C-alpha cells in the first residue's frame, strides 16, 4: 500500500473503500472484546470462518471481529447486518444454524435473542435492548464498526479525517481553542481541562516535546481503556497525532499495562498499519509534520498510572512518583515538556475535530461535557462497558442500563473512581455522573469504574479491601502513604475482627485527612477516600462492628458463624468434600455439622450447597 501523500488522496481512498463495501452484503460481526474473549468468542468466529470457507459463502457474507460492544454479560455477542439482529451467548455449535436460518433464510432464532426482563419478550435488534437504549455511545459505537486490526475499517467510518482537516491549514492554537470550547476534561480520573494542559505544554520551553497515552488503567474494576485500545486503537493514534500537532511534539508513547497483552498487540499492529499508510513517520499527508509512536509496557504496578511514575517507568526506572511542584508539561519525560492524557481522552479528540466543539459541549452538564465510558460491574444484572452523557443519573446507570440487582438483594451503594474514589449510598443515586458534583459528595467519577454493591457487601470490608490494595501498591517513598495508610488498615482490620474501639473512628478520620493533605503523590492523597466515604455514609456499619461485634452484611469472618440448617440439609455431603479444613462432619443422608473450632470461614461450603442449607450469622 503506497503511502497516502496528501489530503485529497485520503478522501479518494475513503470514497473507494465505501464504494467497494456494499451496504447490502451480509455482515456478521462477532465481538472480540475482553469479556467475550473470556467466553471464547474466538471459537465462535473461527467456526464462522470455517463454515463460510466450506460453503463458499465468503463472497456474499463478510465476517468482522470487532472490539468490545459493551454488553459483556451476554457474550459472546454476534450481530448480523443489515437486519441488525442481535444474538447473545452464542456458542460455536450455534453457528451452522445461524448461517442457515438467519443469514440465508432471513429467520431469527428465538433462543439466541435477548429477553427484555421487564416485558419478558424477545427483542431482535440491539437498539431495542434496554441496556443500550439509555446509553449515548458516541465513542463505543465505533467499536462495533471496526475490526481493530484493519485500518481500512477505520478509514471507512471517517478515520483520520480529523487529522486531515487539522493539517489542511488549522493553526495549532486554533486546534487548542477548539478543544477548549468543547470542554473536554481528562478521562483518566483527574478531570483536568485538556486544552489547558495542551496550551501549557505548547508554551513550554524546548524543541523536543512528547505526548503520552496513559493506558495503565490500574483501577480494579475498570476496563474502559482496554475496550477502546483493543477495539479502536486508531482513534487513539489519531487523537495523539492531533494533539502532537497542536503541541509541537514529534514523538509519542502509548504506555500499556503489563496485564493487557492483547492491547499491546492491537496497538502495535495499528501503529504498523498507520506507518504503512503514511499517518505516522515523516511528511504526514504531505504536511511536513513528523510523528512517531512507540509502545512502552508496564511491569505490573498500579502506581505507574500516576503521571510522573509512568514517565519514570518509560525511562526504565522504578515507578516512584516525584513531587509535582514542577509540572510535567514543562519538565516531564526525560525532563522535556510532556503532555500525558488518558486513552479515552485521546480517543475523543478526532470526533471533536470532526463534529465540532459545540456538538461535544452540547452533551453533558455545565462542568462536565461530552460522554463518559463506565465499567459497570458488581452485583448488578447487566455488567459491561456503557457510555453515557455526563448528567445521566447513577440511578439510570444502575437500574435502567444495569438492570438492577443481580442477586435479588437490595442495592446498597456504588463504588466509583476505584481506589481514589468513594462509595455513594443508594439514596444518592439521583446524583448525576459529573466530575465536580461527585467529588463534592466524597467520591469521584475517576476513570469510570462503577462497582455495584448490595446488602451482602460489608462497607467496612470494602474500606479494608481498598486500604489493603493501596498499601500493596504504594511505592513506599513517603511516610504518610507508607505508614499512614498502613495504620488506617490496622484500625479497620481491628474493627472487622471485633477489636474495634469507639475512639478509633475519629482517629481514622484524622489520619485520613492527614494522609490526604501530606502525601507526595495522587495515589497517597486520594488513598483515604474509600475509607472516609464509608465512614461518612455507612457509619452505622462501623458502629455495629464496634459496639455489637457484629457484621450486618455477614462478611467479616471473625464476626460470623456458619451453620447448617437442619430444616434444609439433606445429607448429600457436598460440603464435607469441599471443606479444605475437614471441618464438616456427617453421615450420608443425615444432617451434617460444622466444627466451629476448625472452621476458617473460607466461604466455600455455602457455594456448593444445593439446598441453601448453610447460613451465615
- Between residue 142 and residue 201, which ones bind another protein under the rule CB under 8 A? none
Scanning residues 435 to 474, which ones bind another protein (CB under 8 A)? 449, 451, 453, 457, 465-466, 469, 471-474
Helix or strand or coil: residue 424? strand
Scanning residues 38 to 97, which ones bind another protein (CB under 8 A)? 38-39, 72-73, 75
Question: Does residue number 300 form part of the binding site for another protein (CB under 8 A)?
Answer: yes
Q: Are 321 and 523 in contact (CB under 8 A)?
A: yes
Q: How many C-beta atoms lie closer than 10 Å to residue 351's C-beta?
A: 22
φ, ψ for residue 494 (rounded to 5)?
-55, -45
Long-range contacts of 472-476 (CB under 8 A, 24+ apart): 473/218, 473/301, 473/302, 473/303, 473/419, 473/523, 474/303, 474/523, 474/524, 474/527, 475/301, 475/303, 475/309, 475/318, 475/319, 475/320, 475/321, 475/521, 475/523
Scanning residues 226 to 245, which ones bind another protein (CB under 8 A)? 226
Scanning residues 591 to 610, which ones bind another protein (CB under 8 A)? 600, 602-604, 607-608
Nearer residue to another protein within complex by CB, 282 or 476: 476
Scanning residues 206 to 225, which ones bind another protein (CB under 8 A)? 217-223
Q: What does the radius of gyration of the chain's CA atoms come to, in whole angstroms?
A: 26
For residue 353, what is the DSSP state? H
Distance in angstroms (rounded) separating the CA atoms of residues 33 and 570: 43
φ, ψ for residue 497 (rounded to 5)?
-110, 20
Q: Are 591 and 571 in contact (CB under 8 A)?
A: yes
Nearer residue to another protein within complex by CB, 315 or 548: 315
In whole angstroms, the minimum distance from the beta carbon of 580 to another protein comes to: 3
Stretch that binds another protein, among 137-145, 197-205, 233-241, 383-391 (CB under 8 A): 383-391
Q: In this chain, which of 183, 448, 480, 500 binds another protein, going by CB under 8 A?
A: 480
In whole angstroms, the minimum distance from the beta carbon of 132 to another protein comes to: 15
φ, ψ for residue 248 (rounded to 5)?
95, 35
Scanning residues 88 to 147, which ones bind another protein (CB under 8 A)? none
Stretch that binds another protein, among 172-180, 268-276, 279-287, 502-510 (CB under 8 A): 502-510
| Cell numbers standing for residue 72 | 459483556
Q: In this chain, which of 3, 49, 196, 487 binds another protein, going by CB under 8 A?
A: 487
Nearer residue to another protein within complex by CB, 4 or 376: 376
| Helix boundaries (H) for 64-220 | 95-97, 130-133, 140-145, 151-156, 161-167, 172-182, 194-203
Distance in angstroms (rounded) separating the CA atoms of residues 73 and 414: 18
Nearer residue to another protein within complex by CB, 387 or 473: 473
Site string for another protein, 348-367 (x = CB under 8 A): --------------------
Stretch that binds another protein, among 77-85, 204-212, 360-368, 507-515 (CB under 8 A): 507-515
Q: Are 564 and 594 in contact (CB under 8 A)?
A: yes
Scanning residues 302 to 341, which ones bind another protein (CB under 8 A)? 302-303, 313-319, 322-323, 325-326
Question: Does residue number 541 form part of the binding site for another protein (CB under 8 A)?
Answer: no
- Binding residues for another protein, rule CB under 8 A, total 89
Q: Is the peptide bond before 478 cis (omega within 30 degrees of 0)?
A: no
In whole angstroms, the minimum distance from the beta carbon of 496 to another protein comes to: 13
Q: In this chain, which of 378, 402, 500, 522 binds another protein, going by CB under 8 A?
A: 378
| Helix boundaries (H) for 183-213 | 194-203
In whole angstroms, the minimum distance from the beta carbon of 462 to another protein comes to: 8
Question: Does residue number 484 form part of the binding site for another protein (CB under 8 A)?
Answer: yes
Nearer residue to another protein within complex by CB, 322 or 395: 322
Scanning residues 550 to 579, which ones bind another protein (CB under 8 A)? 578
Nearest CA-CA partner of 131 in 344, 388, 347, 372: 388
For the residues of 591-605, what is the DSSP string, one character each?
Answer: --EE-TTT----S-H
Distance in angstroms (rounded) separating the CA atoms of residues 545 and 565: 25
Nearer residue to another protein within complex by CB, 201 or 452: 452
Amino acid at each position: 500500500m503506497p503511502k497516502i501523500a496528501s489530503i485529497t488522496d485520503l478522501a479518494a481512498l475513503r470514497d473507494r473503500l465505501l464504494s467497494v463495501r456494499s451496504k447490502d452484503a451480509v455482515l456478521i460481526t462477532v465481538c472480540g472484546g475482553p469479556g467475550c474473549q473470556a467466553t471464547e468468542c474466538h471459537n465462535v468466529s473461527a467456526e464462522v470462518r470455517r463454515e463460510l470457507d466450506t460453503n463458499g459463502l465468503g463472497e456474499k457474507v463478510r465476517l468482522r471481529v470487532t472490539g468490545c460492544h459493551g454488553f459483556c454479560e451476554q457474550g459472546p455477542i454476534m450481530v448480523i447486518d443489515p437486519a441488525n439482529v442481535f444474538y447473545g451467548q452464542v456458542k460455536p455449535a450455534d453457528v451452522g444454524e445461524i448461517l442457515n436460518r438467519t443469514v440465508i433464510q432471513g429467520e431469527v432464532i428465538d433462543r439466541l435473542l435477548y429477553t427484555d426482563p421487564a416485558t419478558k419478550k424477545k427483542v431482535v435488534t440491539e437498539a431495542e435492548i434496554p441496556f443500550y437504549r439509555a446509553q449515548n455511545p458516541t465513542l463505543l459505537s465505533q467499536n462495533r464498526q471496526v475490526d481493530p486490526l484493519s485500518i481500512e475499517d477505520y478509514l471507512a467510518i471517517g478515520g483520520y479525517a480529523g487529522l486531515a482537516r487539522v493539517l489542511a491549514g488549522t493553526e495549532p492554537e486554533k486546534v487548542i481553542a477548539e478543544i477548549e470550547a468543547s470542554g473536554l476534561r481528562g478521562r483518566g480520573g483527574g478531570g483536568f481541562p485538556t486544552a489547558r494542559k495542551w496550551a501549557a505544554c505548547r508554551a513550554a520551553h524546548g524543541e523536543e516535546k512528547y505526548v503520552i497515552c496513559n493506558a495503565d488503567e490500574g483501577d480494579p474494576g475498570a476496563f474502559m481503556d482496554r475496550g477502546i485500545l483493543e477495539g479502536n486503537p486508531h482513534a487513539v493514534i489519531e487523537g495523539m497525532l492531533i494533539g502532537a500537532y497542536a503541541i509541537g511534539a514529534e514523538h509519542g508513547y502509548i504506555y500499556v499495562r503489563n496485564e493487557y497483552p492483547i492491547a499491546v498487540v492491537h496497538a502495535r499492529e495499528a501503529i504498523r498499519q498507520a506507518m504503512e499508510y503514511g499517518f505516522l513517520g515523516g511528511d504526514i499527508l504531505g504536511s511536513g509534520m513528523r510523528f512517531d509512536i512507540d509502545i512502552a509496557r508496564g511491569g505490573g504496578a498500579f502506581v505507574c498510572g500516576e503521571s510522573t511514575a509512568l514517565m519514570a517507568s518509560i525511562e526504565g526506572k522504578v515507578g516512584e512518583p516525584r513531587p509535582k511542584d514542577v509540572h510535567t508539561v514543562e519538565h516531564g519525560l526525560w525532563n522535556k515538556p510532556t503532555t500525558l492524557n488518558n486513552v479515552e481522552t485521546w480517543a475523543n479528540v478526532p470526533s471533536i475535530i470532526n463534529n465540532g466543539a459545540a456538538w461535544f459541549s452540547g452533551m453533558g452538564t455545565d462542568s462536565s461535557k461530552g460522554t463518559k465510558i463506565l465499567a459497570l460491574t458488581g452485583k448488578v444484572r447487566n455488567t459491561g462497558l456503557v457510555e453515557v452523557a455526563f448528567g445521566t443519573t447513577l440511578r439510570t446507570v444502575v437500574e435502567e442500563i444495569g438492570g438492577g440487582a443481580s442477586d435479588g438483594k437490595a442495592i446498597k451503594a456504588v463504588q466509583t473512581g476505584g481506589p481514589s474514589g468513594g462509595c455513594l449510598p443508594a439514596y444518592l443515586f439521583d446524583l448525576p455522573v459529573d466530575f465536580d458534583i461527585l467529588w463534592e459528595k466524597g467520591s469521584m467519577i475517576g476513570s469510570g469504574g462503577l462497582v455495584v454493591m448490595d446488602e451482602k457487601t460489608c462497607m467496612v470490608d470494602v474500606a479494608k479491601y481498598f486500604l489493603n490494595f493501596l498499601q500493596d501498591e504504594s511505592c513506599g517513598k513517603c511516610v504518610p502513604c507508607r505508614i499512614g495508610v498502613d495504620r488506617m488498615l490496622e484500625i479497620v482490620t481491628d474493627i472487622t475482627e471485633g477489636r474495634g474501639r469507639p475512639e478509633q473512628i475519629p482517629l481514622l478520620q484524622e489520619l485520613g485527612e492527614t494522609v490526604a493533605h501530606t502525601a507526595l503523590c495522587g495515589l497517597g492523597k486520594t488513598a483515604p477516600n474509600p475509607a472516609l466515604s464509608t465512614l461518612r455514609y455507612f457509619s452505622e456499619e462501623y458502629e455495629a462492628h464496634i459496639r455489637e461485634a457484629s457484621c450486618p452484611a455477614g462478611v467479616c469472618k471473625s464476626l460470623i458463624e456458619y451453620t447448617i440448617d437442619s430444616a434444609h440439609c439433606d445429607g448429600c455431603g457436598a460440603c464435607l468434600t469441599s471443606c479444605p479444613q475437614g471441618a464438616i462432619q456427617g453421615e450420608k443422608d443425615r444432617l451434617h455439622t460444622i466444627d466451629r473450632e476448625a472452621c476458617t470461614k473460607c466461604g466455600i461450603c455455602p457455594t456448593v450447597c444445593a439446598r441453601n442449607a448453610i447460613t451465615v450469622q
